[in-house]
Structure 1
């Protein structure tokens, strides 16, 4: 009985995940012109989902240069301190 309840609950959660992912994809497609405009500036060949994810995480993209973008993402090279 408990195992069946758990399986039913997992199945319901799986259905909800599918619905949520479909909704996210709909939103991405709806705003594709905006996302593509910013996404193409990020990296050639970047897809809609990754572009949307990056824009959600870093809305500054498209308005800053590549060095600021790398710094924002935590990927910028930081020169070692030179001891005097």
Structure 2
């Protein structure tokens, strides 16, 4: 995960605390993901996608898991992750 993608989610919610509240975590978790971790947990990537109504996708947050994978959105839309190969 690239830090700027998670920063995009922080900006969407206005702060690390705002993002944390939206995904049911504490601000310290968001700080950790931004500054220490190499990736956001997959369940959090899914929560961010849902909380942003798809503005920030699971594919952006976790391309290591969703790259090249077809995802079916709740709307029924099929989304094919771009393969980095």
Class of the TM-score when normalised by the shorter of the 2 chains: under 0.3
Q: Identify the structure with the greater helix proportion.
A: 1
TM-score by structure 1 length? 0.27
Q: Identify the structure with the greater strand proportion.
A: 2
TM-score by structure 2 length? 0.27
